Amino acid sequence: MKDTKFGIITRGVGGLYGVRTVDPENGGISEEVLCRARGIFRQNHITPTVGDEVKIEPVDGSANEDWFVPDGEDCGRDAKKSRGGNGGGKKQDIRVDFVIDEILPRRNLLIRPPTANLDYLFAVIPAASPAPDLLTADKLTVIAENYGIETVIIVNKSDLDPESSARLTDIYRTAGYTVFPVSAERGDGMDALAAYIAEITAPETGKTHISGAFAGVSGGGKSTLMTALFPDLQLKTGGVSRKTERGRHTTRHVEIYPLETASGGRFWLADTPGFSMLDFTRFNFFPYDELAASFREFEECLGQCRYTKCTHRKEEGCAVIEKMNDGRIAPSRHESYVRIYDEQRSVPEWKRRMT
């Protein structure tokens, strides 16, 4: 019988993958093991991605395998060429003990930054400094809805402008989101947020792998929030150097950190500077006539408008506009909808199909 283990890909560069295995009995996790992936994934057009749930097996030492190398990261082969083609590129020389044999079905797959199986998106909106950018925040919610990722809104820096914080909280609660107004710096509201994360990761949920990322404009307080919520993260990412690291790395390199939560559960936090501009490429091929369905508070109105082809921008008898006039849709959300719709409509068809 093969000694197969179940694990999560926590990072990957140039065809080498870090995997943390999960014990099916007690949920305990291993230190990172270094893996390569079978060449078969290339034939099947599957790229192993950070966040993937995988099955790994010990490497059979006798096999001279054709390993998977991701596009554009062919370090091994370039090195091989420059060294006279004797079969051993620099990366290829790195010994690994395990091989990724199987990638389990994905819940979702983000292209930028490349991340699989994200369950939660914590969209951080500062109440002030920088001034809240609702269009960017609403684009995040639209993308997350579209991928089936649950959005939680964190209104941060509430200490700087309590009125703005209350206004933002109201906008997103009206839209149907879970919202936490907080001050990461002063600690206000942080207990409720920590309790929420403990609840969604509690062992009783029976899920082995709950993951999430913090997204939002730069300077909104993502690093401060993550450090406050997960003190372990500071250690794992090398403390002070973390900030410069984040600046230097490209959006391609996501890393996932399994972090303990107060319920004794675990939250797999995906971190990269790339989450500030989460997969906005999605909009290049977003069908704008389906945009309304990605605004969750519009959904009950769809099909109720006077005109079947209603675009919900300014038509007479539009159920979305009526709901807004009743105070049940925030004008800022409708404004974002109209702006995204108009942006999308101006993208030519050929461009929209390119991904």
- Residue 310 interacts, among Zn ion, ligand GDP, none and using kind-specific CB cut-offs from 5 to 8 Å, with Zn ion
DSSP states along 211-231: EEEEE--TTSSHHHHHHHH-H
| Residue 47 sits in the site that holds ligand GDP (CB under 6 A) | no
Q: Residue 285 has what DSSP assignment?
A: G
Stretch that binds ligand GDP, among 83-91, 110-118, 217-225, 338-346 (CB under 6 A): 217-225
Q: C-beta of 159: minimal distance to ligand GDP in Å?
A: 5
Q: C-beta of 282: minimal distance to Zn ion in Å?
A: 23
| Residue 85 sits in the site that holds ligand GDP (CB under 6 A) | no
Q: C-beta of 130: minimal distance to ligand GDP in Å?
A: 9
R_g (Cα) of the chain, nearest Å: 23
Total residues contacting ligand GDP by CB under 6 A comes to 14
Beta carbon nearer to ligand GDP, 224 or 344: 224
CB 306 within 8 A of CB 313: no
Q: Where are the beta strands (DSSP E) in 253-336?
A: 255-260, 266-271
Handedness of CA 78, 81, 87, 88 (dihedral sign): negative
Q: C-beta of 244: minimal distance to Zn ion in Å?
A: 49
| Residue 219 sits in the site that holds ligand GDP (CB under 6 A) | yes
| Residue 261 sits in the site that holds ligand GDP (CB under 6 A) | no
Both tokens of 74, joined, read 């062919």
CB 154 within 8 A of CB 226: no
Beta carbon nearer to ligand GDP, 230 or 337: 230
CB 197 within 8 A of CB 226: no
Q: C-beta of 51: minimal distance to ligand GDP in Å?
A: 21
Beta carbon nearer to Zn ion, 198 or 293: 293
Q: Which of 305, 324, 329, 340 binds Zn ion (CB under 5 A)?
A: 305
Q: Residue 7 pairs with which residues in a beta bridge? A: 21, 54
Residues 142-201 that bind ligand GDP (CB under 6 A): 156-157, 159-160, 183-185
Secondary structure of residue 299 in the 3-state scheme? helix
Beta carbon nearer to ligand GDP, 88 or 219: 219
- Largest CA-CA distance found in the chain, in angstroms, rounded: 73
Both tokens of 306, joined, read 């006077």
Residues 6+ apart with CB under 8 A from 139: 280, 283, 336, 340
Quote the CA–CA distance of 24 and 30 in Å, as a whole number.
12
Beta carbon nearer to Zn ion, 156 or 332: 332
Q: Which of 20, 209, 266, 312 binds Zn ion (CB under 5 A)?
A: 312
Residues 6+ apart with CB under 8 A from 320: 292, 298, 301, 305, 312, 329, 334
Q: Which of 99, 116, 171, 310 binds Zn ion (CB under 5 A)?
A: 310
Q: Are strands 178-181 and 150-156 parallel, antiparallel or unpaired?
A: parallel
| Residue 91 sits in the site that holds Zn ion (CB under 5 A) | no
- Residue 37 interacts, among Zn ion, ligand GDP, none and using kind-specific CB cut-offs from 5 to 8 Å, with none
Residues 6+ apart with CB under 8 A from 196: 152, 178, 180
Q: C-beta of 337: minimal distance to Zn ion in Å?
A: 11
Beta carbon nearer to ligand GDP, 272 or 311: 272
Contact letters for Zn ion, residues 318-337 (x by CB under 5 A): x-x-----------------
Quote the CA–CA distance of 179 and 217 in Å, as a whole number.
17
Q: For residue 267, report the phi and psi dihedrals to the nearest 5 degrees.
A: -120, 120
Binding site for ligand GDP (CB under 6 A): 156-157, 159-160, 183-185, 218-224
Binding site for Zn ion (CB under 5 A): 305, 310, 312, 318, 320
